[in-house]
Amino acid sequence: MSGLEDRLRALEDRASILDLIASYGPYADSGNGDAIGALWAEGGTYSFGTTTLEHPDIAGLVELQSHRELMAAGCAHVLSAPRLTIDGDTAVAVNHSIVLACHGEAWAAVRVSANRWNFVRTDAGWRVADRVNSLLAGGESARELLML
79-93 residue pLDDT tens: 999 999 999 999 999
The pLDDT > 70 percentage for the chain reads 99
What's the confidence (pLDDT) of residue 133? 98
Rg of the chain over all Cα atoms, to the nearest angstrom = 16
Element spanning 140, H or E: helix 140-145
Q: Are 97 and 115 in contact (CB under 8 A)?
A: yes
Within 8 A by CB and 6+ apart from 57, the residues are none
What's the confidence (pLDDT) of residue 2? 82
What's the confidence (pLDDT) of residue 1? 65
What's the confidence (pLDDT) of residue 148? 80
- pTM higher than the cut 0.85: yes
Complete domains list, the chain, with CATH: 3-145 (3.10.450.50)
